[in-house]
Amino acid sequence: MRYPKNANVAAAVALAGKGFDATQVRLIADATVTENIHQIEASGDFGRFTFQINGKAMPDNPRSSALAAMSVLSKLDQLTRPISL
């Protein structure tokens, strides 16, 4: 399956789940929407869950979300902290 360059969340969900072939994705482009909206739905023997993330774009790079940048900074912070027992 081929994913567009702007579908990194869909690719991450596919990799975390059952893979690209078993993952259904619907990308919607709407010029009136001011946030990145990701709605994730999953179902299986465990039951079903749905959640939605509405992210703001980076002011200097509208193709990237502020949440992604903050996640990277948070991970770097975690990696550089000393281990506490």
Query: Per the structure block, which two tokens stand in for 24?
Result: 């259904």
By annotation, the residues acting in catalysis are 38
Q: Which helix (H) or strand (E) holds 8?
A: helix 8-16
- Name the residue type at position 17: G
Measured CA to CA, the distance from residue 56 to residue 36 in angstroms comes to: 6
Measured CA to CA, the distance from residue 66 to residue 84 in angstroms comes to: 29
